[in-house]
Each structure stands twice: as structure tokens, then as C-alpha cells.
Amino acid sequence: MNWIAKLKLLMVLPVRVSSFYAPLSTKRLTSTTHITLDDNRFCSHPSRHLRHVQLSSTETETYPNGQNESYGLYVHIPFCRRRCNYCDFAIVPIGKESSSNTGFAKINQQYTDALLTELSMIAASTSSKILLRSIYFGGGTPSLAPLSTLEKIMHAIYKSDSSPFLLDEDAEVTIEMDPGTFDLDKLKAVKEMGFNRISLGVQSLDDTILQTLGRVHRSSDVYSSIDMIRQVYGEEGSNYSIDLISGVPGLTLAAWTETLYKATRLHPRPLHISLYDLQVEAGTAFGKWYDGGDTRDDAETSPAVSIQIKTSNHPALPSTEECAWQYKYASGYLRNKGYEHYEISSYAYNGQSSTVSHRSKHNQIYWEMSGQWYSIGLGSTSSLNCVRYARPRALSDYISWTRKLTKSSKPPWLLSTEQTIDKESERKLLDIVMTRLRTSDGLDLDQIAGQTQFKEAHVDSILRGFQLAIDLDLGTINTSGDHKYGLMRLKDPNGFLFSNNIISNIFMELDLESD
């Protein structure tokens, strides 16, 4: 929030601002000078695409904590034992006995090299270190990667002289780990490497549901994993998040309340819960079983008496009514247990005396108005410099893509053409609306109105698109003090539940206006 105000201050002094731009691309600077500095809050200008930590002491004064001038880094580790029934991510199934498998050793080697190539490309594109406030190893199952691999990557990220990055002192460094894929020694090593947060792929605490999901682990693995976390990080130092999925085939309302009950009694307590409503995606096993279909909307039937129609041997999908109920129940229950529902599918513990926020720093970068992040790895997407760049999703494509990267030229994820920048403000506005309305902090309309790249007409369109949400009591607009437009928020849980509909109403109005 306040960093924006700070930036604004900076904008008054354009000359000084430019003095600490990275000397990356003067050429592009001239070709895109029609973008005003003011825009930078939303669309990082190419010339300042890297806000480096070269700040002199006076500049640091302007940025007392400088935290929001930093970036996120996502590292994708695609290995999984097998593909889960609901999964459509970019993963590489490697089977059970991965460690002794020579085929895996080769893939691992190639993949590690590819990641290191990307990192060296990033390093080559900058003359100074880039400040990170978060690193996130996601997957796949990063905990399946051999320790040596993780070490090499962490080293290349920020530990060597040639590393492109520098860690903010209170940076969040997360690794996704699946129960049953690590032992105490591995976890100790992970801690050693600098990971200070663990995202545990729990999904469910019910063994039948875990089986339905196609997971390899069982609930006992979850409990032992958490105990290991306690042993390694200590009672106080354990900072872990769990994933839970609702709306799973066969998941009854009673079983769901049971899952939440157990989840909130885990010890030590998960400081963060990511709670997803299952989406049946085409191309997954569920997609086949349930005919690609969220067509299960027989909303007239009440949840208590809904008839579950079994298709073959697979348990029936809950009705949308039941899914909605599970979502709403979780929202109320977790709030009661001290969790803040700060985004549609994210809960952060803030109960008791806790003054620190346990929101995921990393994910919040995605939802920020001007969040920028690097990414490396298969199928990952970086968002820098007005360029959202997605890497190939197939392993062989990705590997050959990294082999074609040459240090002499600019990395593709930094390349922006005049055209992409022109389209940027519109695209960016949709991104902002979509991500901000997913958060409990909401969308600050005055901030949008204050931007030269967005017109007040845009705000009017957003307001028009939101009207139905207000009429149906699904959203609010708070105006206080000198706010002209106010803060737009979806209500928890009912507004969140219809977020797509409301956001697409706004998209439609914005679209009509731009015509």
C-alpha cells in the first residue's frame, strides 16, 4: 500500500528515478518513451524492469524498507511419482523407485542444467543483484528432487557470486513437499539450504478420499510429516501450509466437516491453508470419469437429500449445491478457528496473540497491482517488464528451448515489443480486477482512477459491472475519508462463490467501453 505512495513521490523526480534504473536497455527506453512514468506502478517500464539493490543510502531513505521493490521467484520442479486424478499441471511422472532409476537420473540432470541455464541467463541480463522477497519451489513435487539438485539450484539462485539474486532479509522461501516423500535427514537438509516455509500437499485427511484423488500418500504420512517438521523447525519455528480440496467425488458434508476439524487440530498448527474447490478439468482422469463435466448443477435438490448418481465404479461428484456448502462451511469454520480468509482459496492464521501475518508472501505477489516475478522451469510463467512469458509445457520442448537460449541476446522473458506494451494497460486492468477482487483487501478504485493509463471511464465501467453484485448483496464498496470511489470487495463467502460471474460482468463492461 504505502509503497505506492512512495513511488508517487519518486515520480515527481523523474531524473532521479532514472538514475537508478538498471542500464539494461536504453534502446528500448527510447522506443517506448510514450509510456509515462506514472504508468510504472502498473506496468513496469522496460527501462526499470529490474529494480536493483544498488540503492545508495539516500535512496534507501526514500525506501525505508524497500520490500515492495523486490520480486518473487518461482522454481518449477515437475517430478511426480504419478499423475493425480485431478491434475492437469505440467508434470513429469517418474514412478516409484526414482532414486535408483537411471532414467530419472538422466532427466534430473538435464532438467537441472536447464534451470541453471535460465538462471545464468537472468544473471547475464543484469549487472547488479535483484532483490527477492520470495522464492517458491512448486511442482510437481519438489520434495522428490534429489537434495543435490535442490542444493545446486539454491546455490545458483542467490548463493554464488555469479547469482542473479539477493534475498531480502525476511524473504519467504517455500518448498512444496508431499507427505511420504521425505525423511528427517532430507528435511534437515532442506532447512539448511534456506527453506523457511513448507507447503505440505495434504489434500485430504481421509484415506478413501486420498485414494479417489489418486494420491500416493495416506493420512498417516501426513501426521508423520508434520511431526518431522516440528522436530526440524521446532514448535515455534514451524511455518507450514497445507492444501485441502473440497468438492471431491465421494466427499460427504460430514466427511468435510471432519477433515476441517482434524486440520485445525494438527500440531503444530498450520499457519496457512490453501483450500480448493475441485475443478474437473478435461484431460484428467476425473475429466474422463465425469465427462469433463461440471454439469452437475441440479441445484433444486437440497444437499441433505441429493441423490448421488453413481457412474460406474467411481464415486459420484457432489452437486454444486454441496460444493457451495462445503466452501461456505470452511469459510465460517476456519474464521472461527482464527484463520483469515484473505483470498478466495487462501486462509492465513492470525489468531491468538499473533501479530505477524501468515499470508503467503509469494502468492500475494501474483495478486498485487504491480507484482512482478521471475520464474524458471517447465511450463512456468514469469511476469516482468510488461511481459508475461510462459515456458513450454512439454519437457522435451522446454529442454530444447533452454538450449537455444544464448547469452548474447536478450532473454525472451524480458522482450517486449511496442505492441505488447500498447496492449498492456488494457490487459493489466483486467488482471488487476481479476486478482484484486479475489482478495479480501479488495480493489482500490481510487488508485485506478488516479492512473493516467486508465481513465475514469474505466472506473465507471467497473462500477457498472459490479452493480449486480451490490444489488444481490454479494459485494460492497467502502468509501471513507477522502476516497472518491472507494474500495470494492466481494463478500465472504457468497461474493467469493460467484466471483467469476461478477468479474466477467466487469470484463464485459470494460470490453463494451473499449469498443
| Positions that interact with another protein (CB under 8 A) | 72, 74, 76, 274, 276-279, 297, 299-300, 319-321, 323-324, 327, 344-345, 363, 365-367, 373, 375, 379-383, 388, 390, 430-431, 434-435, 438, 468, 471-472, 474, 496-501, 503-505, 507-508, 511-512, 515
Residue 379: CB minimum distance to another protein, A: 7
Residue 510 corresponds to which cell in the numbers above?
A: 470494460
Within 10 A of 355 (CB to CB), how many other CB atoms are there?
6
Q: What is the sign, positive or negative, of the torsion defined by CA atoms of 422, 426, 427, 429?
A: positive
User: Residue 220 Cβ, how far from another protein at the closest point, in Å?
Assistant: 27
Which amino acid is residue 6, in one-letter code?
Answer: K
CB of 469 to another protein, least distance (A): 8
Of 17 and 130, which has the nearer Cβ to another protein? 130
Judged by beta carbon, residue 98 or residue 363, the one nearer another protein is 363
Residue 171: helix, strand or coil by DSSP? strand
Closest CA to 357 of 367, 342, 336: 342
Residue closer to another protein, measured from CB, 149 or 364 = 364
For another protein, the closer of residues 105 and 390 by Cβ is 390
Closest separation in Å from C-beta 133 to another protein: 14
Cα within 13 Å of Cα(145), Cβ side: 33
Phi, psi of 96 (to 5 degrees): -80, -55
Please state the closest distance from residue 257 (CB atom) to another protein, in A. Answer: 18
Task: Tell me how far apart the alpha carbons of residues 211 and 224 are, in angstroms, rounded to a whole number.
Answer: 18
Question: For 317-354, what is the HEC assignment?
Answer: CCCHHHHHHHHHHHHHHHHHCCEEEEECCEEEECCCCC
CB of 393 to another protein, least distance (A): 10
Q: In Å, what is the CA distance from 494 to each residue of 99, 332, 471?
A: 47, 11, 13
By beta-carbon proximity to another protein, the closer residue of 62 and 308 is: 308
Cβ closest to another protein, residue 232 vs residue 358: 358
- Nearest approach, Cβ of residue 454 and another protein (Å): 17
Percentages helix, strand, coil for the chain (3-state, rounded to 5) are: 45, 15, 40
Q: Which lies closer to another protein via its Cβ, residue 300 or residue 482?
A: 300
